[in-house]
Amino acid sequence: MGNEKFKIGVFDSGLGGLTVVQALKQVIKGAQLFYIADTKHAPYGEKTQAQILQYALDIADYFIKHHKIDALVVACNTATSAAIENLREKYPKLIVIGTEPGIKPAIAQTSTGHIGVLATKATLQGGKYQQLVNRLAKDKNVRLFEQACPGLVEQIENADLDHPKTATMLEHWLMPMRENRVDTIVLGCTHYPLVSHIIKKIMQDDIFLIHTGDAIAKHLLERSKEIHHHNSGVLTIKLYATGPIDQASVERVFGKREEITHIII
Ligand code: DGL
């Protein structure tokens, strides 16, 4: 790549994509990472496919115009479902990586054959999720317990992670899974790893949680070879938000204070 650094744009509706950034930090070196928390439009999961597609296209345009990115990581299952094909079509030269619920690793992991899938309403209702299930789970001896979690992203965004209401909501969704001997749960929304500790407590630690950050990081590293990225040196990270964001939650994810720049898209 000459002296130019590998530039990566990552986005989500808010804090969730930071769980992917954490995984990228472990694997990607010597690059510049720009993260947009599109909190002005959160939660994506309650929006229409057309709205989510427009947010994704606007963010991609912003990254290209302002940062000349080489790769775009859609760190959001909901936006991947609504926009990934359009993004790839519109930017054929860009490395575009999406996030999909980890059904495949869950099938490899389960012993009881009963798998829980927690995701947003938009992800579960999207055609892409159905295709994934048809491709991977249909003929296998597994049963999927799918559950949309309306309101959970708001709870997480509002820094109410440990609020009793968060646990009550999760209990309501998880009890049927416990009763049905679900032993593996797919976290099909990048926000949900932020409440892993509550999910584990409700499932009495007897549960395997699947999230996709590590797989995304490996995939990006592989694709970065196409543009001869050397992957050594320091990874710099710059955070942006389109609306309000809870600084303390960002700090909680990174373990230190991070500066956040507000932008209008
Ligand atoms: N974190 C996102 C996902 O992975 C979107 C959550 C939302 O805004 O509803 O689906």
pLDDT digits (tens, 9 = 90+) for 44-71: 999 999 999 999 999 999 999 999 999 9
Q: Give yes or no: residues 93 and 117 share one domain.
A: no
144: part of which helix (H) or strand (E)? strand 143-148
- What is the CA(242)–ligand 1 centre distance, in A? 15
Q: Give yes or no: residues 177 and 237 share one domain.
A: no
- What is the CA(77)–ligand 1 centre distance, in A? 6
Q: Give yes or no: residues 222 and 95 share one domain.
A: yes
Of 172, 194, 210, the residue at which a domain comes to its end is 210
The answer as to whether 1 is a domain residue is no
Q: Give yes or no: residues 135 and 185 share one domain.
A: yes
How many Å apart are CA 260 and CA 265, to the nearest integer?
A: 15
Beta-strand pair 208-210/184-187: parallel
Q: Give yes or no: residues 109 and 205 share one domain.
A: yes
How many Å apart are CA 210 and CA 185, to the nearest integer?
A: 6
Q: How many domains does the chain have?
A: 2
Residue nearest ligand 1's atom 2 by CA: 76
- What is the CA(75)–ligand 1 centre distance, in A? 9
- What is the CA(127)–ligand 1 centre distance, in A? 16
* Backbone dihedral angles phi then psi of residue 44, each to the nearest 5 degrees: -65, -35
How many Å apart are CA 189 and CA 148, to the nearest integer?
A: 10
With the most atoms of ligand 1 within 8 angstroms of its CB, the residue from 21, 48, 55, 77 to mutate is 77
Task: Give the position, in ligand 1's atom list, of the atom nearest the Cα of 99.
Answer: 4
| Domain encompassing residue 123 | 103-210
Q: Give yes or no: residues 78 and 161 share one domain.
A: no
Residue 36: CATH number of its domain: 3.40.50.1860
The predicted pLDDT at position 137 comes to 85
Q: What token pair was written down for 170?
A: 């999760």
How many Å apart are CA 67 and CA 200, to the nearest integer?
A: 39
Q: Give yes or no: residues 204 and 179 share one domain.
A: yes
Task: Give the position, in ligand 1's atom list, of the atom nearest the Cα of 13.
Answer: 8
The predicted pLDDT at position 28 comes to 98
Residue nearest ligand 1's atom 9 by CA: 45
Residue pLDDT, tens place only, 198-210: 999 999 978 999 9
Collapsing DSSP to helix, strand or coil, 126 comes out as: coil
Mean pLDDT by 10 residues, the chain (265 residues): 86 97 97 98 95 98 98 98 98 97 97 97 95 90 96 90 93 97 98 96 93 96 96 97 94 90 95
The answer as to whether 81 is a domain residue is yes
Q: What token pair was written down for 120?
A: 């947003």
Cα 72 to chain centroid distance, Å, stands at 13
Q: Give yes or no: residues 251 and 193 share one domain.
A: no
Ligand 1 site residues (CB inside 6 A) read 12-13, 16, 42-45, 76-78, 120, 123, 153, 189-191
The answer as to whether 77 is a domain residue is yes
The predicted pLDDT at position 150 comes to 97
Q: What token pair was written down for 241?
A: 């938000």
Q: Give yes or no: residues 28 and 56 share one domain.
A: yes
* Catalytic residue set: 76, 189
Q: Give yes or no: residues 134 and 190 share one domain.
A: yes
- What is the CA(92)–ligand 1 centre distance, in A? 25
Task: Give the position, in ligand 1's atom list, of the atom nearest the Cα of 45.
Answer: 9
The predicted pLDDT at position 2 comes to 60
63: part of which helix (H) or strand (E)? helix 49-67
Pick from 166, 205, 198, 168: nearest CA to 183 = 205
With the most atoms of ligand 1 within 8 angstroms of its CB, the residue from 78, 84, 100, 125 to mutate is 78
Sign of CA dihedral 202, 203, 204, 205: negative
Q: Give yes or no: residues 91 and 132 share one domain.
A: no
